[in-house]
Amino acid sequence: MGIAYCLVRTSPENIEILRNRPKALAEFLYPEDDVYEEPKPGFFSKLLGSTPKPDAGPIPNRQEGDEADLDKAWHIIHYLLCGDAGRGEGPLALIGDDLNPLADLDLGLGKPNVISAERVRQFAAAASVLATEQFFARFIPEQMPLTDLYMGDVIERGDVEDIREYALENFEGLRDFANLAAEHGDAIITYYC
């Protein structure tokens, strides 16, 4: 078990339908599971007698092949793409782009985030011309901030080739997924699971 990085592609229109609707977003992301917990009223809500409005709007349909995950390779991939263990900068820093929460919904590891269709297109364009050698240019274990990277301890243990293969396989999956999203003009919802 570990922390995986999950992605769901959907139209910008669906993003707006789901924006600020935590119950609908939970049902969209996990249609078979009931993961939404109604927030408990706060002190002022109790004092003023206000009750939250029920979320009865539509939930967009999911499409086949709309989901991917980077398993536990996400942070290594992010570092290799942008050279930063934090948010990073530039079009390849897609994984670190977590400044756009879609709704006030905590799935246990933070709120789902939205990557705009424009940002997805920028990432897809930059990633599609990235050769394998360029992807691995920063994969120099003695120069990497391994203590700051999720799965960095595995590299420290000496499983360097296994992590290289794991990172490349998941990066190629991310690149294909982003290209498909860009072709359809989709945005991407990201979350940790």
Please tell me the distance from the alpha carbon of residue 178 to that of residue 43, in angstroms, as a whole number: 43
Question: 126 phi and psi, to 5 degrees?
Answer: -70, -40
DSSP 8-state symbol, 71: T
User: Which residues in the chain come in under a pLDDT of 50?
Assistant: none
The whole-number pLDDT of residue 24 equals: 94
Please tell me the distance from the alpha carbon of residue 173 to that of residue 46, in angstroms, as a whole number: 48
The amino acid present at 2, given as its one-letter code, is G
The whole-number pLDDT of residue 121 equals: 98
The whole-number pLDDT of residue 38 equals: 63
The amino acid present at 173, given as its one-letter code, is G
Q: What are the domain boundaries of the chain? A: 5-32+64-192
Q: Which of 128, 7, 5, 176 has its CA nearest to residue 77?
A: 5
The amino acid present at 131, given as its one-letter code, is A
With a CB cutoff of 8 Å and minimum separation 6, the contacts of 169 are 73
Q: Which of 184, 132, 140, 170 has its CA nearest to residue 12?
A: 184
What 3-state class would DSSP assign to 187? Answer: strand
The strand pairing partners of 9, in sequence order, are 188
The whole-number pLDDT of residue 36 equals: 53
- pTM value is 0.88
Classify domain 5-32+64-192 at the CATH topology level. Answer: Hypothetical protein yfbM fold (3.40.1760)
Q: What is the pLDDT of residues 110-145, one digit of tens each?
A: 899 999 999 999 999 999 999 999 999 999 999 999
Please tell me the distance from the alpha carbon of residue 116 to that of residue 13, in angstroms, as a whole number: 11
The amino acid present at 109, given as its one-letter code, is L
Cβ neighbours around 167 below 10 Å, total: 23
Cα 114 to its chain centre, rounded Å, is 8
